[in-house]
Structure 1
Amino acid sequence: MRTTHRPLTTLALALCLFMAALEMTVVSTAMPTVVGELGGLDSYAWVFTAYMLTSTITVPIYGKLADLYGRKPVLLFGIGLFLVGSIASGLSTSMNMLIAFRTLQGLGAGAMQPISLTVIGDLYTLEQRARVQGAFSAVWGIAGLVGPLTGGLIVKYLTWHWIFFINVPIGLGAVGLLLSCFHEQVEHKTRTLDIAGAFLLSAGVVALLFGVQGFGMNLLALPVALIILLAFVYVERRVPEPILPLSLFRIRAIAVSSTAGALFSAAQFGATTYVPLYVQGVLGGSPTLAGGMITPMIVGWPLASLVAGRLLLKTGFRPLIVGGLGMAAVGTSLMALLLKPGASMLVPELAMGLFGMGLGFSSTGLLIAVQTSVGWELRGVATASNMFFRTIGGALGVGLMGGVMVHALLRDARIPSSAAAELLGPEHGRGLAPEVLRSLGGALGSGLTLNFWIISASALLAFCAGLFFPRAKQAAPPSMPSPDAMAPH
């Protein structure tokens, strides 16, 4: 059996995370321009929601498959699907095509981040993992610096289609390194996959998403979602190998991590989706400036995470988690209170920087606490379940805020359906009548301001959830295999 080359495997995993982080910052930077070219502001949230929806649904499925059949084949399949979706998204000529192919892209993304973090958990001991996870967060910082600038330059000098094509060389590099450097030995047993659980979970999440983002008839999806998810719980308690073992949530550290992760992710994805739109659509900033509002968050996150990795073994999980979530709540509160029409660009920069630093401290502690709460045989599904709750929180948060924004625009009959696209286009609404421009700016600002209060409330609830995290310094399982036994060969 060939031996894993740990440094090069770690580099491949870093490339996977870099793609995910770059995707978020580049797309957020370019989306107002995409709407200006393709139209369909009412579908704005779906470009993000479709991606997060499919990546959310597939996270626990991929996690279970990684525990059953090994990390490598699942990760390679996810990267391949992500690259196909990226190319197809770049070739889109309508908003509906873009949403469809972002859906495909999300199907691959569901494997990339959780399985990469699972492999890190396999390759490194607890002491090493705290530092490596902190270093991995630096990848997000680099993407935070490169992404908005890259997105702005692509939109200015090429076309927005190229924001998706840049994933291809990075993804191919990661695939090449994984094929040649990462080797694992998986014990072959007779295994079963929980198809019924996967189907019910997918249907329940879809129904829930439609319910939270709509008004009127869409609200009927909420009771449907409740019924389906109750059926999912019934199935999971009876199948021999559940797709999402409910017994995991009897571990307090995992239950708190999942709850807090869902809530702060709603705030995180809401901020990265709607702050650039506010800066460009309400404050009149350029696409590059709008995308740059995300940079303080994504730079502050890894810097705090690096510090958290060094402090973790001295302080334990709880101080980092509670303190970080408290800092994130303060940042989002500043955003909701101070980000108004005519506000200085320093307001979103300061708020997003503080928010990102808080998430850097808390998310590092939450993730490592989950991974040290179980052994190898459950680490894949435990990590995936934590990422599942983070992504579902983000998807539901963005969907809800998208519904709020669309409702604010539709409420004013004086605003033509094409006006928003003109506002975000290259002419910045110069062709619109002054009264229409005032009405549109007011409606858009009103809807987005309400979204900022939703973001603030989500971060505050995440802080409240963090207060229930156990006080023990470590949450190690009673009988965890040694690091050598856990590591791939």
Structure 2
Amino acid sequence: MRKTHRPLTTVALALSLFMAALEMTVVSTAMPTVVSDLGGIQHYSWVFTAYLLASTITVPIFGKLADLYGRKPIILAGIGLFLAGSVASGLAPSMGWLIVFRTLQGVGAGSIQPIALTVVGDIYSMEERARVQGLFSSVWAVSGLVGPLAGGLIVRWLSWHWVFFINVPVGLATAGLLVACFHENIVKQKRTLDIAGALLLALGVMALLLGAQGQGNRWVPLAVAAVLLGAFVFLESKVKEPVIPPSIFKSPTITIASICSALFSAAMFGSTTYVPLFVQGVLGGTPTEAGGIITPMMVVWPLCSIVAGKLMVKVGFRPLIVGGLGLAGFSTVAMAMLLKPGVPLLLPAVAMGLFGAGLGFASTALLISVQMSVGWELRGVATASSMYFRTIGGAVGVGAMGGVLVAKLTADPRVPVSAANELLGPEHGLGLGEQMLRQLSGALAEGLSANFWIMAVVSVLAFAVSFFFPRVRPGATPGTGAAAMH
């Protein structure tokens, strides 16, 4: 059995996370320009929610597959799907096709991030893991700096299509390193996957998202979601190999961490989706300025994550979680109150920085606390479940906010949707006429203001729930060693 080369494996995992982080900042930068080119502002949120929905559905499935068949084949398959979706998205001829290809990209993303973090839990001890988290945090910092600048330059000098193509060399390098350097010793045994459970989960989450969008009769899909997800919970308690073992939620650590993760992720994905739109559509900023507004969050988050990794052993998980989510809640309330037409760009930048600081402290502690609550045989599904609740929170949150925005923009039937597309173009709707421009800008500002208040509410709820997090010290839970390192 060949031995894993830990340094090069860590580099490969860092590259995979860099690709995921770069995707977030670059696409957010380019989206207003994409809308002005392809049209379809009424489907704006679906470019993000389709990606999040696909990754939400597949995260627990990939996590379970990683526990059954090993981490390596699953993360390699995810990278392949992610790259295929990236290339197809770059070639998309319409907004509809872009949404389809972003869905494929999301399926791949459902494997990459949770399995990468699971591998870190496998090959490093708890003390080492905190230091490696610092390395991964610096990766997010670099991508936070490079992404908006690269996205703005690509949109300006090439075209928005190229923001998707930049994933290809990074993904190929990642896959090559993992093939050569990461090795596992998987025990051969008969394994099964709960296909029925996976299907119920997928259909239930899809129905939930349709209901969250709030267009048409929302109660029908919400009722369907309740039935399907209820059936999923019942089935998981009966099958031998459940997609998400109900037993892991007997741990208060995992239960509270899952709730907090879902709530703060709704605000996080909402901010990366709609704050750039506010900058470009309401404040009249450039694509580079719109994407750059995310940079403070993407830089401060990992820096605070590094600090959290060092403090965790000394103070435990709970102070970092409560304090971090409190800071995140304060920053989103400030955004909801202060982000109005005419504010200086410095204001949303500072708010995003504070938001990132809070999540840097809280998210690191939440993830490691979950991994420390189980042994190797459940670490993949536990990590994936944590990521699942993050992505479902983000998908439902962004979907609900998208429904609010569309409702505001289409409230007046005299205002065509094409005018909203033009508002996001390089001339910011200069040819629309003063009255139309004023009316449309006002509707966009109202819709985004409502979304900022939604972000504030879910952030404050996450802070409130964090007080129920148990007083668990690092090292007092199962799975503290590097048992799976070979």
Task: Please tell me whether the aligned partners of residues 312 and 474 of structure 2 are also in contact (alpha carbons under 8 angstroms).
Answer: no
Corresponding position of 1:486? 484
Corresponding position of 1:65? 65
Corresponding position of 2:203? 203
Corresponding position of 1:469? 469
Pairs aligned (count): 486
Task: Please tell me whether the aligned partners of residues 372 and 480 of structure 2 are also in contact (alpha carbons under 8 angstroms).
Answer: no
- Offset at residue 261 of structure 1 (A): 0.2
- Offset at residue 137 of structure 1 (A): 1.5
- The alignment partner of 1:431 has SS state of helix
Q: How does 1:90-489 map to 2 (within 5 A)?
A: 90-474=90-474, 476-478=476-478, 480=479, 482-483=481-482, 485-487=483-485, 489=486
Corresponding position of 2:47? 47
Q: 1:284 to 1:316 in 2, by over 3 A?
A: same
* Greater displacement, 420-429 / 176-185: 420-429
- Offset at residue 219 of structure 1 (A): 3.1
Task: Please tell me whether the aligned partners of residues 414 and 439 of structure 1 are also in contact (alpha carbons under 8 angstroms).
Answer: no
Q: 1:426 to 1:409 in 2, by over 3 A?
A: same
- Offset at residue 412 of structure 1 (A): 1.8
Q: 1:2 to 1:379 in 2, by over 3 A?
A: same
Indicate the RMSD between aligned Cα atoms, in angstroms: 0.9
- Offset at residue 317 of structure 1 (A): 0.3
- The alignment partner of 1:486 has SS state of coil
Q: Deviations over 1:174-207 (max 9, x none)?
A: 0110010001110111111100100000000000
Identity of aligned residues (%): 66
- The alignment partner of 1:216 has SS state of coil
Q: Which runs of 5+ in 1 are unaligned?
A: none
TM-score (norm 1): 0.98
Q: 1:481 to 1:331 in 2, by over 3 A?
A: closer
- The alignment partner of 2:417 has SS state of coil
Task: Please tell me whether the aligned partners of residues 126 and 480 of structure 2 are also in contact (alpha carbons under 8 angstroms).
Answer: no
Task: Please tell me whether the aligned partners of residues 126 and 481 of structure 2 are also in contact (alpha carbons under 8 angstroms).
Answer: no
- Offset at residue 416 of structure 1 (A): 1.4
CA distance in 1, matches of 2:480, 2:24: 36
Q: Deviations over 1:209-265 (max 9, x none)?
A: 000112332331001100001100110000011000111111011001100000000
- Offset at residue 475 of structure 1 (A): 6.5
CA distance in 2, matches of 1:102, 1:218: 24
Corresponding position of 1:87? 87
Task: Please tell me whether the aligned partners of residues 212 and 219 of structure 1 are also in contact (alpha carbons under 8 angstroms).
Answer: no
Letter in 2 for 1:198: A
Q: Deviations over 1:425-464 (max 9, x none)?
A: 1221111011100010000000000000000111101111
TM-score (norm 2): 0.99
CA distance in 2, matches of 1:466, 1:242: 28
Letter in 1 for 2:484: M
CA distance in 1, matches of 2:182, 2:330: 42
CA distance in 2, matches of 1:481, 1:33: 47
Task: Please tell me whether the aligned partners of residues 373 and 475 of structure 1 are also in contact (alpha carbons under 8 angstroms).
Answer: no
- The alignment partner of 1:319 has SS state of helix
CA distance in 1, matches of 2:391, 2:341: 30
Q: Deviations over 1:140-193 (max 9, x none)?
A: 111110000000000000000000000000000001100100011101111111
Corresponding position of 2:78? 78
Letter in 2 for 1:337: M
CA distance in 1, matches of 2:456, 2:350: 15
- Offset at residue 387 of structure 1 (A): 0.1
- The alignment partner of 2:283 has SS state of coil
- Offset at residue 347 of structure 1 (A): 1.0
Q: Which runs of 5+ in 2 are unaligned?
A: none
- Offset at residue 476 of structure 1 (A): 4.1
Q: Deviations over 1:258-288 (max 9, x none)?
A: 0000000000000000000000000100000
CA distance in 1, matches of 2:441, 2:207: 32
Letter in 1 for 2:191: R
CA distance in 2, matches of 1:264, 1:206: 21
- Offset at residue 481 of structure 1 (A): 7.2
Task: Please tell me whether the aligned partners of residues 134 and 364 of structure 1 are also in contact (alpha carbons under 8 angstroms).
Answer: no
Letter in 1 for 2:73: P
CA distance in 2, matches of 1:320, 1:427: 45
CA distance in 2, matches of 1:233, 1:197: 8
CA distance in 2, matches of 1:476, 1:2: 32
Letter in 1 for 2:283: L
